[in-house]
Structure 1
Amino acid sequence: MHKICFTIAVFLAATGSSSQAMAQSADIGHELFMDYCAACHGESGKGDGDMAGIMTIPAPNLTLLAKNNDGQFPMLKVIHLIDGRTGMRAHGGPMPVFGRVFMSEEPSAANPYGTILESRGRVMSVAYYLETIQQ
């Protein structure tokens, strides 16, 4: 069931449907980005965060993701990077895996997929936000 929900959400993102929901997700994504990502990637997403000076591998400029991908925002790749499905390295080791960080601490027997969907929704919200800051 959770694969179906995730597939539908990715489809909606790719087709541009549900723009109001995506706008709300981008707003939530901005808040999450500021809380979890800005220290390394900078408030503007350009890789100039407070931690940039001590990182062994520089944080990338996230405003250039579409430009560096033939003008198309690589939504699925970004989602996979954020949730930890890739081996992207930073700080001399893997980038923090936010898929687990974004999970609810209190899964419910009545809602066994809630924690997974909550995590994926937060990851997608950050990805939607990143899409809005492309140059």
Structure 2
Amino acid sequence: MKGHFFSILVCIVGGAVQTTADEVPADGGMLFEKHCARCHGTDGTGNGNASGNLNTRPPDLTKIAARRDGVWPMLEVMSIVDGYTKQTTPREEMPLISALTDGPVVEFDTGNGLFTEVPARLIAVANYLESIQSPKPERYVP
């Protein structure tokens, strides 16, 4: 299932979220604080309390778009957060956080008229990370 889900995401273009009226997306900031801030810091800059115990310092998550020339890579961010790709070094200490991939799903608008169900919490965290980019993204890619 996980491999299939990732394959779908890699082939997708776009990145808007569409939910139905009875679906309430999770709060990405709260999820980040609960599951990510220990290492990445409450501000996302990589200075969390546990960061000193790691072999590799956690990256500054406020500079994802800046490191990509102003582009916000929604699907890449989602695939890193959900742990499906551990191809980019260094990520061996990045845990798989099932709390972000379990639970309710929402339809994810792929940007080309196709929708796929994606964990609401995963999208919420990715949207939160987009909101803390400094400088703000200039362009968007899937």
Same fold (TM over 0.5): yes
Which residue of 2 is the match for residue 44 of structure 1? 43
Q: Runs (4+) of structure 1 moved beyond 4 Å?
A: none
Q: Distance in 1 between matches of 2:85 and 2:42?
A: 24
SS in structure 2 opposite 1:73?
strand
Residue by residue, what CA displacement relative to the aligned partner does 1:40-64 show, whole Å, maximum 9, x if unpaired? 0000000000011111011000000
List alignment gaps of at least 5 residues for structure 2: 107-117, 135-142
Deviations 1:65-100 (A, max 9, x none): 00011101111110000111111544xx341112x2
Does residue 72 of the first structure (1) align with residue 75 of the second (2)?
A: no
Aligned residues: 109
Deviation at 1:12, TM superposition (A): 4.9
Higher strand share: 2
Q: Paired residue for 2:138?
A: none
Higher helix share: 1
TM-score after normalising by structure 2 = 0.65
How far apart are the structure 1 equivalents of 2:14 and 2:60? Answer: 26
How far does residue 11 in structure 1 lie from its aligned partner after superposition?
A: 3.7
Instruction: Tell me the TM-score normalized by structure 1.
Output: 0.68
Pair 36,123 (structure 1): closer, same or farther in 2 beyond 3 Å = same
Between 1 and 2, higher relative CO (CA 8 Å, sep ≥ 6) is seen in 2
Indicate the residue corresponding to 1:83 in structure 2: 82
Tell me the C-alpha RMSD between the 2 structures.
Answer: 3.0
Deviation per CA, 1:8-66: give whole Å up to 9, x if none.
Answer: xx7452xxx76xx9xx85x7000000000000000000000001111101100000000
- Cross-structure match for 1:58: 57
- The equivalent residue for 2:95 is 96
